[in-house]
Copies of this chain bind each other. A is one copy, B any other.
């Protein structure tokens, strides 16, 4: 049996890469993408910087892997989603400040010029808004309380989630992120169902 631990070479390699991505997530949370150094990521997994470059030939390649990991981690909502599941997602996020911090830092950086994650976030938000609108429509119908449409409510939903994350990260003791998000959902009223 190869490697003596039941792993093929390929599986072992993927495990190593996953370990690196996890370390990159942590380093980006601490210093942002521009502030994150390949050497810092390498050290965290017990490699030299050049050993790291063997797995990810450039810094951008590592970022791509990080963003891909996020896509696996939280699936984009679509019409099958229920809005109250979002509340659970926010609650779960409140237990994972590290991950939240990583992507909040990346989102903030991404609005700067030529940032490698800019296109990713632009497309992601387009998809997320569309998915949210679809979810709202299946749950509330074409008309939300207060005369809003699902399409006009979706950006607000996304904005509240993101904005609360920044306030919560800066001052966790002063902001009840899940509670505030539930407050917002209450503003939307009860679904017709």
List the interface of chain A (C-beta within 8 A of B).
Answer: 29-32, 34-35, 101, 104-113, 118, 121-122, 125-126, 129, 146-148, 152-153, 155-156, 158-164, 166-167, 169-171, 174-175, 179-180, 183-184, 186-189
Contact A148 B113 (CB under 8 A): no
Contact B158 A167 (CB under 8 A): yes
A108-B109, A152-B180 known, 7 other contacts, Cβ within 8 Å? A108-B166, A109-B109, A111-B166, A155-B175, A155-B180, A156-B164, A161-B163
Contact of A31 among B112, B166, B169, B174 (CB under 8 A): B112
With A32-B34, A112-B29, A112-B32 known as contacts, the answer to whether A122 contacts B170 (CB < 8 A) is yes
Contact B101 A105 (CB under 8 A): no
A interface: dominant SS: helix
Bound Cα distance from A169 to B32, whole angstroms: 19
Contact B113 A104 (CB under 8 A): no
Chain B residues, Cβ within 8 Å of A184: 156
Contact of A162 among B110, B155, B163 (CB under 8 A): B163
29 pairs across A/B with beta carbons < 8 Å? A29-B112, A31-B113, A101-B111, A101-B112, A104-B111, A105-B108, A107-B108, A109-B109, A111-B170, A121-B170, A122-B170, A125-B170, A125-B171, A126-B171, A126-B174, A129-B167, A129-B174, A146-B189, A148-B183, A148-B186, A148-B187, A152-B183, A155-B167, A155-B175, A159-B159, A159-B164, A161-B163, A162-B163, A187-B188
